[in-house]
Structure 1
């Protein structure tokens, strides 16, 4: 059952990602991005990565995508022209995508997954040891990695202040 759900959400993510890239309407591309990000979050849930799934939902779906959609909807008519993307040079995009797919498939094909020690240990006890990863990540963030966590928060604060300064109207008084 989990395997079928995984394949379903993987197919949804791939199809909506392809639609997002190939459509000319930016609003439809934004909604396809929403579907892609939700599918990836569902895959994280199926892989028992609950912290990553919640982070995916909160940061990407809740923050970034909402900003993109509001930006598209608020500026959909610029000088009476609808905002549409230009599909320029599809050939290079398809070629690079196919080469990347071939490289990834080759890498997966050459990897000996059965010999990985963590996979051998996990195959003996399928779901018995699965528990939430949030508590462990929280303890690590507030003990071992508190300095990098605080430095990252200060850098993000500086970036926000800089963005607010750049966005202000600089009229001379």
Structure 2
């Protein structure tokens, strides 16, 4: 039941974030989306990923974006508004990217590699190291999402720096 609640909050706040024109409200709805996704990770017993979600995205990227929005110059006490309203191209490009990435991951067949199957053996005698398994999964099965996440992080940092700059001096 909690999963469905957090999933609904993530989807609704994500949709509001994309559709609103007020950048400050979009930043706060991004905060709500990222927190609900971290809660879903906790419900799935992925504690490492949940803490990483909180530390990297909520703690780093979102704070940079919100500070960039708050420190940007305001024109006659009006809120900073987004000027781009072309949502159709964004949805179509994201769907094409999703289809392409899904096909590529499906065709790769990472789980059949012999050195990955050997890595599932016991590392510390009777105990399994979860960090070792996470490292192998990040560099094999999830290398593409890992790289995409790093690019999104870079884009968010560049966007926050762009928003924080004074456009009259440039």
Normalising TM by the smaller chain, what interval?
Answer: 0.5 to 0.7
**1:77 is paired with a residue of what secondary structure?**
coil
**2:81 is paired with a residue of what secondary structure?**
coil
Distance 1:22 1:5 in 2: 26
1:162 corresponds to which residue?
none
Matched-pair contact (CA < 8 Å) for 1:16–1:32 = yes
Structure 1 pair 79/13, CA: closer, same or farther in 2 (3 Å)?
Answer: same
TM-superposed deviation, 1:137: 1.2
Matched-pair contact (CA < 8 Å) for 1:20–1:30 = yes
**2:64 is paired with a residue of what secondary structure?**
helix
* TM-score normalised by structure 1 residue count: 0.53
CA RMSD of aligned residues (A): 3.5
* TM-score normalised by structure 2 residue count: 0.54
Equivalent pairs counted in the alignment come to 113
Higher-Rg structure is 1
Correspondent of 1:65 among 45, 55, 62:
62
Contiguous gaps of at least 5 residues in structure 2:
104-127, 140-170
Structure 1 pair 45/78, CA: closer, same or farther in 2 (3 Å)?
Answer: same
1:42 corresponds to which residue?
39
Matched, 1:21 2:21: no
Matched, 1:137 2:131: yes
User: Greater relative contact order: 1 or 2 (C-alpha under 8 angstroms, separation 6 or more)?
Assistant: 2
Contiguous gaps of at least 5 residues in structure 1:
108-132, 146-173
2:90 corresponds to which residue?
93
